[in-house]
Chain A
Amino acid sequence: MSQPAVEVTGITHRYNTASQRPILNDLSLSLAAGETLALVGASGSGKSTLLNLIGGLEPVQEGYVRVFNETLHDANNALRTELRRSIIGFVYQAFNLIPTLSVVDNIRLPLALAGVHKTEQDKRINRLLDTVGLTDKKNAFPDVLSGGEQQRVAIARAVVHQPALLLADEPTGNLDASTGQQVLNLLQSLVAEHNTTLLMVTHSLKVANCADRILAMNDGQLVEMNDNTDSINTW
């Protein structure tokens, strides 16, 4: 495919004070469809901010963001909603499950909001529950689940509408090594199945090494990393 999945050009982002140094400074990024990209960088360097901008959760201040040829930087609310329903899936740094909805209803949420038919909903959800291994906990509420289980629910919710782009903010951050590996495997198999483009923030070298490409956030800019780069231990 010639058309890039994500095209970010010259983005600059500040929080409140204008005098402050921008978090993102004239940053550009291009992501091919089907590619898996790992984003690394020190804590507070602006990784989550970048993901939020691409996901349309935060308004773009300066620069352009294009996702599958849809421009996000000047999109209105309706278009953003539409993009979130059709193209973008998001796994948050915090799990962000709705505590008053059961596992199955949390996963159902995007489909229901998008108006997908009930039988189709159930079909997809049941398959997905099977994949993430939570069929027996489908009626439980989030606060009785373990961290790994909650993250799997969050991932299931992020992919249930089969988005072309999956943004994952530290999907394994809160988990121990073996659970992290499980979750990572799950992500990879889901991505492979639908040829989904994956942009993933991580602190783990092991996780980052699974990606096609690794970018590091540094001083509001992105630096391409090769396998032999030794600056990799700075984060």
Chain B
Amino acid sequence: MVTALLFRSSWRFHRQHPLQLMLSMFGIILGVGIVTSVLITNHSAVRAFALSSEALYGRATHQIVAANAIPDEQAALFIRSNPSLTIAPIVESEALLNGTLITLVGLDPFRESEFARLQPNASMSDSDSNTQVGVTALLDAKNPIWASDATAERLKLSLGDPINMGELEATLVGTFRTASRAASDGLLVTDISVAQALSNKRGKVDRLEMVLSDAEANALSTTLPAQWRLQATAQRQATMQAMTKGFQINLTAMSLLALLVGMFLIHNTMTFAVLQRREVFAVKRLVGIPASGLFGIVMTEALVFSAIASLIGLLVGILIAQKLLQLTTQTINDLYFVLHVQQIHLSPWVLLAGLILGIGSSVLAATLAACEAASGSAMQARRRSAVEEKTKTLLPWLLLAGLVFLTLGAALAWFPSQSLLLGFGALMIVIMGYGLCIPWLSQRLLNLLQTVMGQTHVVVSLALGSLTSNMSRTGLAIAALAVAVSATLGVQIMIGSFRHSVDNWLTQTLQSDFYITLGDTDGTGRSSAGQTNNQWLQKLNEINGVQDISTGLVVDAVTNFDTFDLLVLSPSAISESSYEWLDTHPDGSWQMFMNEQSILISEPLANKYSLSSGSMMRLFTETDGDVAFTVAGVYRDYGSSHGRLVIRRSLYDYYWNNPRVGSIGVNVNTAADRTSTIAAVREHTNQLPIPARVRDNISIHAESLAIFDRTFSVTRVLRWLTMGVAFIGIFSALLAMHLERARDFAIMQASGGSHHQLRQIIALQSLAMGIAAGLLAIPLGLLMSEMLIHIINVRSFGWSMASTLPISAIPQTFLLALASAALAGLYPAWRLSRQSLVSELRSE
């Protein structure tokens, strides 16, 4: 009975303050939306990865790989000598088709039934075979290809369409489907020989897949030749997923920041709702309702509002996720491996997590307000100034707590660890610590403003005076705005520094004037590499104006740690200068690289496995199996966060049997004419029987930077969304303050204050809050950028870099804070002229 009464009273209160409630709901909706969208995106990416692995590997439990693919004859021999095993040879490659990255798999249709990966569509399958991929069709057409339903639909392919890949033309002869449609998105399937031809891997298969029991696997692994390796499929998948982990943690952390700012909003609203009703609460206490009853009321209110808002937030999250997913997939493709994800995947667990985070954080944020409602003697609760007095005595304690947090955060940050989670923990603690210091700091700042400017005009003094005397509200609003603005500054500096470093690195790395890429580039930056002959290379070198050339080939290298990209380099005279050393060998890194059994490793690899010059690393070679190499040096490389190796051509040729060349760097004689030289190089390149692209270093540089910018588009989107939440925060704080003080404004007006003066007061208050937030945001922003650059980036990507401060960023940040505060003040100012004086004066 009493409870029902209490709730009716609450309901009436909130119905009378709809805007305030709506704003806070909107804040939670956005906060939950952002977090949920990131959760969904990450989950969808993981899920897509699992599905596409399923489509690719089917029931295959193990695979045999070799240091440099497996020649057809060896594969056939192995299959023949193990008649009890079902073995499927596979060719897999990535290619660009109509501008879209696709995966082309070559398989033996007669061996597929055991693996259960693909099902041809009934309408197109041959009548005599339901489980085999259209045998007769494969035999009929020249270079027949099958596309999955999803791929055909997305690329708008219909049967009989010609498919141009590499130098060959293929024909789409059918479609197939997999258990899950999303699993086979981006997948094309063909016969092994066609795949070999299309991907320039004639005479070789990439792996042999098998369904093995553990015992069979153990037995088999002992009998394999040294050049071959048996891998569990699950193992490979786990390694690949681990690669994107850092990236996903980054996204999650960004989204949690948005939720943190959202928490401020709910705290603000609930505190406001309690302060507004302090008289009502006091009266209720006086008539005998226990403190716990009032506490319960406020908590229930928070629970109900946040539940509604979180539910809507989930829907918003699903919408944002669609967009976010595209951006993330792009980044994963740019940075890690090819992943085709088109559909978001909604798991009830992810949605539940979003809901719990939303409701949990709101209820947590409301506890302070609920305690406020329940605590204090009833008489004291009637006094507004008592609340402010309490806040004032609380400020130094908040400062102290903030300093403790900051110290703790710093300690965590310096703690020698590679843990990314720990790094983000430190960052969050530092942000919270600084946030706790902000109310005290802004009070000081406002007092200072008051002493400096308060004497100038009564309006100024009134405006600033009521800001400081409403610190319980203003302090928090300033803190929320400052944190959000500082996050945009921190991220801006981080991205800026990163870009600057990548720019410098590209300039240093791209030393040659021209680069020739041979074969098809597949969009991952890797070339399927073409066969060249030494005679052709010799002629290239002799072209008038060409100083000298270097050649490179990127292959997969299996090492004792993981599989990495291995650059096989035949250096030119200037190749050495394209490496920036982060760790050199006492005997001279380049010297060693050129002359000894050694390799160069990139920074992320060195960081991840704590390697340095002189360390040993084992590579899985074609001729001798496991062979140890000395690390001759560690070089800077922003090209891959997974890590890369470099080996000199002559050493590679000793252990591997792969004479292909993927790219050629051409250095032009300083005296020669660039234009005529490149024309001659182009003409010479055209004589090759394989496709080749000639590009100058400037355009490669620009393209690489474009990819870099693409990588950070997710971060940018999240940053602006967070800023949006913060804006709502400052808006609702100002609104709450002015709603609460509507009577004061009415009194001022009744005492002869003009609308103009009152608007000035609001404008001044908004500006003062903006100034305080802007000033306080700058140190935090700088601190955040340092932590992002030197801790988070190193731990999530393995890249170190110098921080560069774009000078314009600081005034920009300040203006951003000022502008959002000013904007937030517009509505209260407008509302002022519409309020009824009498009804405000009447109420007490």
Name A's B-contacting residues (CB within 8 A): 48, 52, 55, 57-58, 77-78, 81, 84-85, 90, 92-101, 105, 109-110, 112-115, 141, 143-144, 157, 161
B383, A110: Cβ atoms under 8 Å?
no
A residues within 8 A CB of B465?
Answer: 100-101, 105
Is the beta-carbon distance between A112 and B458 smaller than 8 angstroms? Answer: yes
Q: Is B388 an interface residue (CB 8 A)?
A: yes
CB of A96 within 8 A of CB of B747, answer yes
Q: Which B residue's beta carbon lies closest to that of A99?
A: B384
Residues on A with C-beta less than 8 A from B754 are: 77-78, 81, 113
Are the C-beta atoms of A100 and B752 separated by less than 8 Å? no
* A110-B469 in contact (CB<8A): no
B844 contacts A94, CB within 8 Å? yes
- Can you list the 3 inter-chain pairs with the closest CB atoms, starting with the nearest? A112-B458, A85-B752, A100-B469
Complex Cα distance, B749 from A85, in Å, reads 10
Which residue of chain B is the closest to A98 with respect to CB atoms?
Answer: B744
Q: Is B841 a contact partner of A94 (Cβ separation < 8 A)?
A: yes
CB of B842 closer than 8 Å to a CB of A: yes
Check B466–A96 contact: CB distance below 8 A. no
With both beta carbons as reference points, the residue of chain B lying nearest to A157 in the complex is identified as B751
Q: Is the CB of A84 within 8 A of B750?
A: yes
CB neighbours of A95 from chain B (8 A): 844
Given contacts A100-B388, A100-B465, A143-B384, A77 and B755 within 8 Å (CB-CB): yes
Asked whether A100 and B744 contact (CB < 8 A) given A52-B838, A92-B841, A94-B841, the answer is yes
**Given the complex, which residues of A lie within 8 Å of B386, measured CB to CB?**
143
Let me know if A113 and B841 touch, CB within 8 A: no
Q: Which residue of B lies closest to A94 (CB)?
A: B844
A-B contact pairs, 30 of them (CB 8 A): A52-B838, A55-B750, A58-B837, A77-B754, A77-B833, A81-B749, A81-B752, A81-B753, A84-B751, A85-B752, A92-B841, A93-B842, A94-B841, A94-B843, A95-B844, A96-B743, A96-B841, A99-B384, A99-B744, A100-B384, A100-B388, A100-B469, A113-B458, A113-B748, A114-B752, A115-B458, A141-B385, A143-B385, A143-B386, A144-B385
CA distance A105 to B833 in the complex (A): 24
Does B757 count as interface, using CB distance less than 8 angstroms?
yes
Contact partners of B841 in chain A: CB under 8 A:
57, 92, 94, 96
A78-B757 Cα distance, complex, nearest whole Å = 11
The closest CB in chain A to the CB of B744 belongs to A98
Please indicate the chain A residues that have their CB under 8 angstroms from the CB of B844 in the complex: 94-96
A92-B841, A141-B385 as given contacts; A113 in contact with B466, CB under 8 Å: no
- Interchain CB contact (< 8 A) of A113 among B383, B470, B757, B837: B757
Instruction: Give the CA-CA distance A144 to B744 in the complex, in Å.
Output: 18
A144 contact set on B, CB distance < 8 A: 385
- Partner among B383, B748, B757, B842 whose Cβ is within 8 Å of the Cβ of A94: B842
Complex Cα distance, B837 from A55, in Å, reads: 11
Chain A residues near B751 (CB, 8 Å)? 84, 109-110, 113, 157
Interface status of B449 (Cβ within 8 A of chain A): no
Cα(A57)–Cα(B833), bound, Å? 13
B residues in contact with A110, CB < 8 Å: 751-752
Chain B residues near A94: list those with CB within 8 A.
841-844
Q: Which residue of A lies closest to B746 (CB)?
A: A96
Which B residues lie within 8 Å of A109 (CB)?
A: 747-748, 751, 753
Q: Which of B385, B749, B753, B755 contacts A99 (CB 8 A)?
A: B385
B474, chain A: closest CB distance, angstroms: 12
Instruction: Let me know if B819 is at the binding interface, CB within 8 A.
Output: no
Inter-chain contacts of B749 with A (CB < 8 A): 81
Residue of B nearest to A110 (CB): B751
Per-residue contact bits, chain B 451-479, to A (CB 8 Å; 1 contact, 0 not): 00000001001100110011000000000
Contacts of B458 in A (CB 8 A): 112-113, 115
Asked if A98 and B755 sit within 8 Å, CB to CB, the answer is no
Residue of B nearest to A115 (CB): B458
Q: What is the CA–CA distance of A109 and B757 in the complex, to the nearest angstrom?
A: 12
Of residues 45 through 72 on chain B, the ones whose CB sits less than 8 Å from some CB of chain A are none
Q: A189 CA to B385 CA in the complex, in Å?
A: 33
| B493 smallest CB distance to A (angstroms) | 39
CA distance A28 to B743 in the complex (A): 31
Cβ–Cβ < 8 Å partners of B744 in chain A: 98-100
B836: nearest chain-A partner, CB-CB: A58
Contact of A113 with B385 at beta-carbon distance under 8 Å, contacts A58-B837, A96-B747 already known = no
Cross-chain contact B470 with A100 (CB below 8 angstroms): yes
A98 to B385, CA, bound (A): 11
Interfacial chain A residues near B743, Cβ < 8 Å? 96
Segment 273-311 of B: residues with Cβ below 8 Å from A:
none
Q: In the complex, what distance in Å separates the CA atom of A110 from the CA atom of B752? A: 6
Bound: A94/B279 CA distance, A: 15
Interface centre among A48, A78, A97, A113 (most CB of B within 10 A): A113
Distance in Å: Cβ of B389 to nearest Cβ of chain A: 9
User: Which residues from B are CB-within-8-Å of A57?
Assistant: 750, 837-838, 841
Task: Report the Cα distance A95→B465, complex, angstroms.
Answer: 21
Distance to closest chain B CB from A65 (angstroms): 15
- Bound together, the chains give a CA A144 to CA B388 distance in angstroms of 14
Task: Report A-chain residues with C-beta under 8 Å of the C-beta of B837.
Answer: 57-58
In the complex, how many angstroms separate the beta carbon of B687 from the nearest chain A beta carbon?
86
Chain A residues with Cβ under 8 A from B747's Cβ? Answer: 96-98, 109
Closest partner residue, chain B, to A52 (CB atom): B838
B383 cross-chain contacts in A, Cβ below 8 A: 99, 143
B466 lies within 8 A of A100 (CB)? yes
B838: chain A residues at CB < 8 Å are 52, 57-58
